[in-house]
């Protein structure tokens, strides 16, 4: 039988109370949100919290998906299902809906939280890679107030982040919606972690790429941003050969592990192919959005 080690249990009634409890109990206190990652790790004795601080009562403060003045704001306790079913996400932040369709199963999507995906810092998680492509920040709050952290800077290694022991992740912010975006993943079976997966977001000026961002997961020790691939795409006209060159650059930026999901060479080949497919779909969506805007004038 899988039984976690003994721990104390607290329930926070507000974000401020959660911060106070983290201060009181120190670095061996863990926050419990959806629990779909932490509880299995505790049962396997891979995580040993001395105190578990349950924040499920904070939905009123931290569960939302909305856009304010052009900025997408997602509360840390928003469930995966909330993103998947949001009309705003489906219309303007399409790669998030793409990524959510790949995440586990309905039970996990009903209970698992967006903030939990980031704080857990699993390098194979889909959602951080999608938000990296969007240029998102997470906001953490502690005794000294709030501070933003770029998504690509959040993780410093597998299951490690720069969040301090007395801080709580409260929100994710995307400052500008892309004109087109897409997320692709190769997995051994439905709901599995990726052999390789990536998201692309494009900001266009006519037929020229004003800005591109590429986020990748499953191909390194952290969620990766393919900066060299972005430079290949920036300022260029749309072209299949351009997409292939960006895919080659992204493949060279990977450091894939050799594991049951494939060899490093296989995963780099996947990245080459997925960049092209994601670019084609993101461009198609950008053109479709432009056509709809023109028809509405």
* Tokens coding 155: 């993780």
Domains in the chain, start-ordered, CATH in brackets? 8-58 (3.30.43.10), 62-174 (3.30.465.10), 180-296 (3.30.390.50)
Burial classification of residue 193, based on how many CB atoms lie within 10 Å of its CB (0-12 exposed, 13-18 middle, 19 or more buried): buried
The secondary structure of 235-286 as a DSSP string is TPBP-HHHHHHHHHHHHHH-----BTTB-HHHHHHHHHHHHHHHHHHHHHHH
Length of the chain: 297
Q: Which of 224, 236, 204, 209 is nearest to 268 (CA)?
A: 224
- Residue 56 and residue 26: Cα distance in Å, rounded? 20
- Residue 212 and residue 231: Cα distance in Å, rounded? 8
* Tokens coding 74: 């997602």
Output the pLDDT for position 130.
97
Output the pLDDT for position 214.
98
> What residues are paired with 74 via a beta bridge?
65, 172
Strand blocks (E) in 15-92: 29-32, 51-54, 65-68, 71-75
Residue with tokens 């953490």: 140
- pTM here is 0.94
Q: Do 167 and 141 touch, CB atoms closer than 8 A?
A: yes
> Tens-of-pLDDT digits for all 297 residues of the chain?
588 889 999 999 999 999 999 999 999 999 999 887 888 888 888 888 999 999 999 999 999 999 999 999 999 999 999 999 999 999 999 999 999 998 877 778 888 999 999 999 999 999 999 999 999 999 999 999 999 999 999 999 999 999 999 999 999 999 999 999 999 999 988 878 899 999 999 999 999 999 999 999 999 999 999 999 999 999 999 999 999 999 999 999 999 999 999 999 999 999 999 999 999 999 999 998 876 666 665
Output the pLDDT for position 3.
84
SS3 state at 192: coil
Q: Do 143 and 105 touch, CB atoms closer than 8 A?
A: no
Output the pLDDT for position 151.
96
Q: Which of 40, 64, 51 is nearest to 11 (CA)?
A: 51
Output the pLDDT for position 291.
67
* Tokens coding 281: 């779909």
* Tokens coding 119: 């704080």
């Amino acid at each position: 039988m899988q039984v976690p080690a003994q721990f104390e249990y607290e329930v926070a009634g507000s974000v401020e109370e959660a911060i106070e409890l983290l201060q009181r109990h120190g670095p061996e206190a863990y926050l419990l949100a959806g629990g779909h990652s932490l509880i299995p790790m505790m049962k396997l004795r891979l995580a040993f919290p001395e105190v578990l601080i349950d924040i499920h009562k904070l939905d009123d403060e931290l569960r939302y998906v909305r856009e304010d003045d052009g900025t997408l704001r997602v509360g840390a306790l928003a469930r995966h299902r909330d993103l998947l079913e949001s009309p705003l996400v489906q219309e303007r932040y399409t790669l998030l809906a793409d990524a959510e369709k790949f995440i586990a199963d309905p039970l996990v999507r009903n209970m698992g939280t967006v903030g939990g995906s980031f704080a857990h810092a699993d390098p194979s998680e889909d959602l951080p890679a999608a938000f990296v492509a969007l240029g998102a920040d997470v906001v953490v709050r502690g005794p000294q107030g709030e501070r933003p952290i770029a998504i690509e800077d959040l993780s410093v290694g597998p299951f490690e982040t720069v969040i301090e022991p007395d801080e709580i992740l409260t929100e994710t912010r995307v400052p500008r919606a892309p004109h087109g975006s897409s997320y692709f993943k190769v997995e051994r079976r439905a709901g599995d972690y990726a052999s390789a997966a990536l998201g692309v977001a494009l900001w266009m000026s006519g037929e020229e790429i004003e800005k591109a961002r590429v986020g990748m997961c499953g191909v390194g020790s952290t969620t990766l941003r393919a900066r060299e691939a972005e430079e290949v795409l920036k300022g260029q006209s749309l072209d299949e050969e351009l997409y292939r060159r960006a895919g080659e650059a992204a493949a060279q930026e990977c450091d894939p592990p050799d594991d049951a999901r494939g060899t490093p060479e296989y995963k780099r080949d996947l990245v080459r192919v997925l960049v092209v497919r994601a670019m084609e779909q993101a461009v198609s969506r950008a053109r479709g959005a432009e056509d709809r805007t023109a028809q509405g004038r």
